[in-house]
Each structure stands twice: as structure tokens, then as C-alpha cells.
Amino acid sequence: MSEKSTPCRLLLVTVTILTLAITGGWGGISSASNSHSTNPPPTDIIIDVKTRKFEPDKISLQRGQKTRIILRNKDAELHAFVPVGLFLGTTHNVSGNGAPQFGNEGLLRVLLPSTGQTEISFTPENTGTYPFLCDLPGHVMQGTIVVQD
């Protein structure tokens, strides 16, 4: 009798462990999304590059607000995004298929391939007016980012 019931108990224990593992997994996912709701997602700012222009070319950001600048090159040619002073003293993360160049003061320039996209995530720390431009030869492209309180 006892020899017969042992495999049954083992199966029951296994099923219980599996159930706990699955439930625990879901619990982990839902608690992760809870922490996201208390920590809001970044504000996305999309800057398109089209016919050798930044669109829009006037951008307003909020100081202390988590921000993601998304640069999309819609042209058939290479462009650059050169921020002036904006990322100084901030932690910033660059992703996407652009080619970023960094210096002591952080991000200096991103080369944007045709149809490419680059995202820059950061939180603006200082209010002010920050120009940006494309420095490729013959490209007269510029814009302004204003960080406000």
C-alpha cells in the first residue's frame, strides 16, 4: 500500500512546487510593474531629421523630469546631433544604432545613419537654453532645447 502511494505523493509534491514556482514568477512580474507605476516612464521627445532640418527645432524640457530624446534620421544621408552643454554633469545613456562620441564632459556628438534611430535617456539637471546642431560640412541645421523649472 505505502509503496503504491509514494509515487502519487511525489507527483503531488512536484505539482505543488511547480505551481508555487509559476505563481512566484507571476508575482515577481506584477511587483515589477507596480514599481514602474510609482516610478513613471520617461517623457519621450521625438526629434526627426528631414530634408536637412530638425523637426521640431524648439524643444522644451522640464528640469528633474526623466526624459528620453529620440532622434530619427528620415533622410537618405548621414546627419549628426551635436548637443551643446545639455548633458554636462548629468548621467545619460545612449542607445540605438547611431554612433555616439563621448568626451570628458559626456556625449559630444551622435552620428545618425540614414533611417537610423538613437535614444538618449537622462534627467535635465540645470535650467537654461541649450543649442544643438548638425556639424557635417554644408549642413546648416540647428535647434534649441530649453530646460525649465
Query: x/- binding map, residues 73-102, to Cu ion, per CB under 5 A?
Result: ------x-----------------------
- Assess 139 for contact with Cu ion (CB under 5 A): yes
- Assess 71 for contact with Cu ion (CB under 5 A): no
- Assess 136 for contact with Cu ion (CB under 5 A): yes
Give the cell for residue 79: 546627419
- Assess 72 for contact with Cu ion (CB under 5 A): no
Q: Are strands 141-148 and 58-62 parallel, antiparallel or unpaired?
A: parallel
| Smallest distance from Cu ion to CB 124, Å | 24
Q: How far apart are CA 46 and CA 69, in angstroms?
A: 6
- Assess 109 for contact with Cu ion (CB under 5 A): no
DSSP H or E stretch at residue 33: helix 2-38
Rank residues 72 and 147 by Cβ distance to Cu ion and give the closer one: 72
Strands ordered across the beta sheet of 67-73: 53-55, 43-50, 67-73, 117-122, 92-96
Q: How many residues bind Cu ion (CB under 5 A)?
A: 5
Q: Are strands 99-103 and 106-112 parallel, antiparallel or unpaired?
A: antiparallel
Cβ pair 47, 98 in contact under 8 A = no
Q: Looking at 15-23, 36-44, 115-123, 127-135, which segment touches Cu ion (CB under 5 A)?
A: 127-135
Tell which residue, 84, 81, 77, has the closest CA to residue 100.
Answer: 81
- Assess 134 for contact with Cu ion (CB under 5 A): yes
Q: Looking at 29-37, 85-93, 116-124, 134-142, which segment touches Cu ion (CB under 5 A)?
A: 134-142
What is the binding site for Cu ion (CB under 5 A)? 79, 134, 136, 139, 141
